A and B are shown apart, each in its own frame.
Chain A
Amino acid sequence: MNIEQLDLYTQIILSLAGLIMLTSFIMLGQGRLLRLVFVFALQGLLLVLATALAAYSFSNHHLYISAAITLVLKVLFIPWMLRGHILKLNMHRDVEALNNKTTIMLGGASLVIFSYYVLHPILADSTIVLLNALALSLAVVLLGMLLMISHRQAIAHVVGFMSIENGLFFAAIVSTRGMPMVVELGVAFDVLVAAVLFGIFFLHISNSIDTLDVDRLNRLSEEDE
């Protein structure tokens, strides 16, 4: 099937899926925390667009509420909170030295291929939009994990954590036109509480080790001292 033959909705959703994954890759290679947070907010915005589009196309009105919640939570509140922490802890000038950027990027690319491979049995009997969007959202989830592994700053870990949530949310939107409302509200509530808790933890971590570099959180281990 050629892409021109698809309806407009499918084409836009596919582009958005690609863009969301692109933002994941940009985050992966980003050493400056403020830019990282900005790209994360951008990813949230793309997600809001996808949700609103799905709400419009399927006239599924509860998705407008989901879109509004996402807008407030992931585009405004969480980036604003993270930005505040970065400025307060005076970390906006730090550039995190990412060693092996090439390896990380290649790793990210293989995760995308891996996602297609994992979901292949599902995709055999489903539409083209699902084929790509579901695999790409799994890729966003896995790229979020890779982001957490490759960065050392606690703030970057939170961005990774939240972008995993973005990937899951996108999967729910495209595969099933949104989960039932109670579930979405519950998930949004969990994300909100998690965001507040992360704020509290930045304070504790910087109090206890004077930095947010989680490589220094290494007191607990199985090794004999």
Chain B
Amino acid sequence: MIPAYLLLLLPFVGIIYFAMLGHKEDIGRQNVWFNGIALLLSLSLALNVFNSGALISTDQYFIVDSFNVYLIVLTAFVGLTTAIFSAPYMDHEKQLGKLTDTRLKLYYSMYQGFMFAMYLVLTTNNMGIMWVAMEAATLATVLLVSLYRTPESVEAAWKYFILCGVGIAQALFGTILLYYAATQINDAENALMWSVLLDHAGKLNPDILEIAFVFMLVGYGTKIGLVPLHNWLPDAHSEGPTPMSAVLSGLLLNDALYAVVRNKMLVDGATGSDIAGYLMMGFGLLSFLVAAFFLHRQKDIKRLFSYSSIEHMGMMTFAFGIGTPFATFAALLHMTVHSLTKSAIFVTVGHAAQIAGTQRIEKIRGLIRTQPKVGWGLLIGTLAIAGFPPFGVFTSEFLVLLATMRSYPWLTPLLLLGIGIACAGLFRNIQPMVYGECPQGQQAVKANLWPVIIHLALVLWLGLAIPDSLANWFTQATLLISGSAPL
């Protein structure tokens, strides 16, 4: 359990360190160090779980099992690569005069704050703390969305703040109902502990849990960006600094979905019906289809990819909703490859926007001639996210389709249609940006593309072959979530 405590302590120290002392030239590199150590800690935690199964701290406040440990590693990994990306990116923004030293300090301090909230959401065993941490993640990022202090970014941050705050209040109401149901069967002190609740799930009042789940899904669904609660997401992603879009898309949305799945496990245990699954399938499919159509209307490159995030989160919610072991396995894999690919894309998108000096799609042209690495990165990243073989997204989307065909065959055409529409929407916008005529005087920027290369290589690897240990890991998690192993 010790690595888990250290993992929580480290970003907490980071918040204070960057807020107080980090007023130096190499502040970006220090942030990389913090996240690098966090990754090592998360790996040692994963090794522990791998060797000795799920860990619960003696006071029961923290739990690490095969489901959340893989998300912890993913969080730490994306946190590190985004930190590597953000150091030169933020220096460039500072040179352009968009940022001051104080705001840079705020940025790095809140970056650590966000990571802290994410680790807390993932490791806590208490459903109430999970809510608190989820809200804290909003509070940590809300000032980052308005970092540039333009009227647009202030507006985006305000919308994000209000919509997510009000949305997630519904999840707290759901949590209160859950607590009420739990206090009826056992003592009040441990009544919000997820592990305790799961043990007694069969005794919880099913009527209360059904209502509670509706509130939870609406609340955490706002954070996942499910249609029709998604309005904040494209605004926040497009107006905030690009590294923030990478971690919001790659991590925050996953962790909100994680909270929903944990709750779904309780509700399934209590009601013994598929009601929670049907709700998730409905919301997921709606988000997936609506976002696919919206991809065609975008004029801003970051909005384009934030709609793509909504689309993929919709698909994951749908797959978790189906709930068969096979679909759960597919959803877990999709979570991983989507995080890796989407954060890589946002890194290249950030550089592309810096090269062109704008985020408007019609002004970004000829990337492949100005800076081939960025152009290729964007192109390959888009190929990967659109679900082309041999990338990992293809594998996971294929598995989702197969799982749908087994359980609900009549929904498969809708999924195929959505994937096709989304693919067309992405490529009609990306193609001219990468290949188009290069505007006069466009210059390359200083860029560190190692994060992109590593992420895309991993996604490619996952598409070609899933290593045995990882497959075992996912199988364990599937076993935990759906009660039996896939295949």
Residues of A within 8 A of B (CB): 118-119, 121-122, 124-125, 138, 141, 144-145, 148, 154, 157, 161, 164-165, 168, 171-172, 175-177, 179-180, 182-183, 186-187, 189-190, 193-194, 197-198, 200-201, 204-205, 207-209, 214, 217-220, 222, 224
Contacts and interface: CB of A to CB of B under 8 A. Distances in A.
7 smallest beta-carbon distances between A and B, as pairs? A183-B128, A186-B132, A208-B151, A121-B207, A217-B155, A175-B180, A204-B154
Contact of B169 (A124, A165, A220): A165
B235 A217 contact: no
B297 interface: yes
Given A122-B207, A164-B169, A204-B149, A220 B132 contact: no
B444 to A, nearest CB: 30
Contacts of B129: 182-183, 186
B189 A189 contact: no
Contacts of A182: 126, 128-129
Interface of B: 126, 128-129, 131-133, 135-136, 139, 142-143, 146, 149-152, 154-159, 161-162, 165-166, 169-170, 172-173, 176-177, 179-180, 183, 188-189, 191-192, 205, 207-208, 210-211, 235, 238-239, 294, 297, 299
B309 to A, nearest CB: 16
A176 B192 CA distance: 12
Contacts of A183: 126, 128-129, 131-132, 192
Nearest to B165: A161
A168 B175 CA distance: 10
Contact of B152 (A148, A172, A219): A219
Contact of A197 (B143, B191, B205, B299): B143
A220 B156 contact: yes
Given A190-B132, A204-B146, A204-B149, A122 B177 contact: yes
A222 B155 CA distance: 14
Contacts of B170: 141
20 contacts: A121-B210, A122-B207, A125-B205, A138-B173, A161-B162, A172-B179, A176-B176, A177-B188, A179-B179, A182-B128, A183-B126, A183-B132, A187-B132, A194-B161, A200-B143, A201-B146, A201-B158, A208-B151, A220-B235, A220-B238
B162 A157 contact: yes
B200 to A, nearest CB: 16
Contacts of B162: 148, 157, 161
* Max chain A C-beta neighbours (<10 A), residue from B129, B165, B208, B211: B165
B211 A121 contact: yes
Given A179-B192, A180-B128, A208-B154, A122 B208 contact: yes
Contacts of B183: 176
A201 B166 contact: no
A68 to B, nearest CB: 19
A183 B61 CA distance: 12
Given A125-B205, A141-B169, 18 more contacts: A121-B211, A122-B205, A141-B173, A145-B166, A168-B172, A175-B177, A176-B188, A179-B176, A180-B128, A180-B188, A182-B128, A183-B192, A205-B154, A207-B154, A208-B155, A219-B152, A220-B159, A224-B299
A201 B128 contact: no
Indicate the member of A122, A125, A144, A157 with the most B CB atoms within 10 Å: A122
Contact of B211 (A119, A144, A209, A214): A119
Contacts of B177: 122, 175
Nearest to B210: A121
Contacts of A125: 205
A131 to B, nearest CB: 13
Contacts of B192: 179-180, 183
A186 B188 CA distance: 18
A70 to B, nearest CB: 15
A157 B166 CA distance: 10
B172 A187 contact: yes
A47 to B, nearest CB: 15
Contacts of A121: 207-208, 210-211
B327 to A, nearest CB: 29
A168 B207 contact: no
Nearest to B142: A197
Contacts of B207: 121-122, 124
A141 B171 CA distance: 12
Contacts of A141: 169-170, 173
A194 to B, nearest CB: 6
Given A186-B132, A197-B142, A197-B143, A219 B151 contact: yes
A164 B211 contact: no
A70 B141 CA distance: 26
A214 B158 contact: yes
Nearest to A158: B162
Contacts of B150: 208
A201 B151 CA distance: 11
B157 A201 contact: yes
A220 B150 CA distance: 12
B154 A193 contact: no
B225 to A, nearest CB: 15
Contacts of A200: 143
Contacts of A177: 188
A189 B154 CA distance: 23
A186 to B, nearest CB: 3
User: Which of B173, B176, B183, B188 has most chain A Cβ within 10 Å?
Assistant: B176
A194 B162 CA distance: 10
Nearest to A186: B132
Contacts of B126: 180, 182-183
A185 to B, nearest CB: 9
Given A161-B162, A209-B151, A217-B155, A190 B139 contact: yes
A94 to B, nearest CB: 20
A154 B157 CA distance: 13
Contacts of A148: 162, 166
Contacts of A144: 166
